[in-house]
Structure 1
Amino acid sequence: MDGPAVSATDVVKVYGRGDTAVRALDHVSLEFPRGRFTAIMGPSGSGKSTLMHCLAGLDTVDAGRVHIGRTELTGLSDAELTRLRRDRIGFVFQSFNLLPTMTAEENILLGLRLAGRRPDPAWFDTIVGALGLRERLRHKPGELSGGQQQRVACARALVGRPDVVFADEPTGSLDSKSGAEVLGFLRASVRELGQTVVMVTHDPVAASYTDRRVLLADGRIAELTGQVA
């Protein structure tokens, strides 16, 4: 497909009203190219998590437009947004968000099964092999290390071949070795598999794995560096 994987055009997001109103995003316009790894950075309160939530359809905007590919999110119904997030977006969170009663394999395939879709066996094998999870597929989250749990979460995010993966502080709960392994895989998924990844992070070491860095301050883009295309 032509065009960016994700785009925001003149996006405004305000929390609260009157004197207590906080403008979390202040007319942000930004494009995220396909097949690139982008970090969204900034101090606490800069708007980086709000921007990711709006881009991913997890939160609404007060003004402006958000697109996933050619699909405009603003104006979609809740049911349409749910389908879009399920079918075209992958998520990796700091807290892993794995179901403790399910095995690693069941957690990886859960989203596809809820959508009534069958996994591509070859793609599943590629993802599991790249993440070193073949020997862990029958283990439950409580039997896995933090790094292994996050690798399961990465596999879950990628197994449906989404248009974009959003990662929210994916190494925040990991030690440096496990964090490096997860970031290395996300980097490889972009370089070798053509995935588009957008990651929120406060960590400059994590950001060093990316192609592009977007720095937010007070809800605005303060700096944009790195490879664009």
Structure 2
Amino acid sequence: MSVATPQAAVRTAVTAQDVVKVYGRGETAVRALAGISIGFAAGEFTAIMGPSGSGKSTLMHCLAGLDTVDAGTIHIGRTEITRLADRELTKLRRDRIGFVFQAFNLLPTLTAEQNILLGLELAGRRPHKAWFDQIIDVLGLRDRLRHKPSELSGGQQQRVACARALIAQPDVVFADEPTGNLDSRSGAEVLDFLRMSVKRLGQTVIMVTHDPVAAAYADRVVLLADGTLAGELRQPTRDSVLAALKHLGA
């Protein structure tokens, strides 16, 4: 006889409860998030999708502590980030959150290895050598560590950005359109790594994307519309994502 795993046994990496975000005031106010409550399980790859203006990027920015909320709470693990002072929030983002953006955001004067390690050095921390070696080898960057960004392809630069996001062993990695500046082959390499980081390294990844092909790499797709949750897909495929977006009018 099989026994269902209790819901409480699933560790939640990120939680939003009744989150509201409003831009502007009065008649021009835009309610970007309208009371969203959602949790993201640890060790899972989640994609956030929705039509333009649905609130997907706003939600990610609030979850990551890059933007404030007007109401509600957000937790990273057991830490409520919506109550943290700026200095505490900066430290939490540095120590417990990794970021991968559409723009690679690499410093052009530093080598790939220096870019990867910069955050740790600024925090006065040394990298865990075995972890560093594992990330570098999984990403295939061993022979590119001494190259500067201008000497790397777009896909290689984004892989460096992925390594930088993971080097501090964060609780969660947020990826904002990580394949937006890449060709299909390079984009697939980055998505393969993000998926591998979840399956082999136990990482938690939350990605905003407009691309159904990219979303199909995730374990779960969360759908937004008009600042509210509009459903979700488990084990998504390109076709199931396209059908869901069509239903939302995207």
What is the TM-score when the length of structure 2 is the normalising length?
Answer: 0.90
Aligned residue in 2 for 1:40: 48
Amino acid at match of 1:57: G
Distance in 2 between the 1:81 and 1:176 partners? 35
Distance in 2 between the 1:223 and 1:100 partners? 41
Q: Any gaps of 5 or more consecutive residues in structure 2?
A: 1-8, 236-250
Aligned residue in 1 for 2:194: 186
Equivalent residue in structure 1 for 2:101, among 78, 93, 105: 93
Distance in 1 between the 2:148 and 2:36 partners? 41
1:95-153 Cα offsets, whole Å, 9 max, x none, are: 00000000000000001001111000110000000000000000000000000000000
Q: Is the 8 A contact 2:46 2:219 kept in 1?
A: yes
Distance in 2 between the 1:114 and 1:204 partners? 37
Question: Where do 4+ consecutive residues of structure 1 move more than 3 Å?
Answer: none
Aligned residue in 1 for 2:239: none
> Which structure would you say has the larger Rg?
2
Q: Is the 8 A contact 2:10 2:41 kept in 1?
A: no
Change (3 A) 1:91 1:21: same
Tell me the percent identity.
77
Deviation at 1:3, TM superposition (A): 3.1
Structure with the higher fraction of residues in helix conformation = 2
Question: Secondary structure of the equivalent of 1:5?
Answer: strand
1:178-205 Cα offsets, whole Å, 9 max, x none, are: 0000000000000011000000000000
Amino acid at match of 1:192: R
Distance in 2 between the 1:224 and 1:15 partners? 26
| Root-mean-square deviation over aligned CA pairs | 1.0
Q: Is the 8 A contact 2:13 2:204 kept in 1?
A: yes
Aligned residue in 1 for 2:79: 71
Aligned residue in 2 for 1:113: 121
Question: Secondary structure of the equivalent of 2:214?
Answer: helix
Aligned residue in 1 for 2:159: 151
Distance in 2 between the 1:66 and 1:226 partners? 23
Q: Any gaps of 5 or more consecutive residues in structure 1?
A: none
What is the TM-score when the length of structure 1 is the normalising length?
Answer: 0.98
1:169 matched to 2:181:
no
How many residues are matched? 227
Aligned residue in 2 for 1:203: 211
Deviation at 1:43, TM superposition (A): 1.2
Equivalent residue in structure 2 for 1:3, among 5, 11, 34: 11
Question: Secondary structure of the equivalent of 1:171?
Answer: coil
Aligned residue in 2 for 1:216: 224
Amino acid at match of 1:213: V
1:38-96 Cα offsets, whole Å, 9 max, x none, are: 00001111000000000000000000000000000111000000000000000000000
Distance in 1 between the 2:126 and 2:206 partners? 26
Deviation at 1:2, TM superposition (A): 6.6
Amino acid at match of 2:41: P
